[in-house]
Amino acid sequence: MPYVNIRVAGTLTKEQKAEIAQGVTEVISRVANKPPEAVLLFIDEVPHENIAKAGKLLEPPK
């Protein structure tokens, strides 16, 4: 069973998550030759302040 974990800075709408889930499931299913019901996807929404790049915390988009 393929497990996919996606981490994003900030939040997504339910519609965005649904579209990501559908697209990622389709690709994994096709490429790995697994049935869609075998693909398990996790979407983690992480506050910008919990992510650093080049030694600096990310700022939320304005």
* Residue 36 annotated among the catalytic residues of the structure: no
Tokens (6 digits) for 45: 């929404």
Q: State the Cα–Cα distance between residues 4 and 13, nearest whole angstrom.
A: 19
- Do 29 and 36 touch, CB atoms closer than 8 A? yes
Catalytic residues: 2
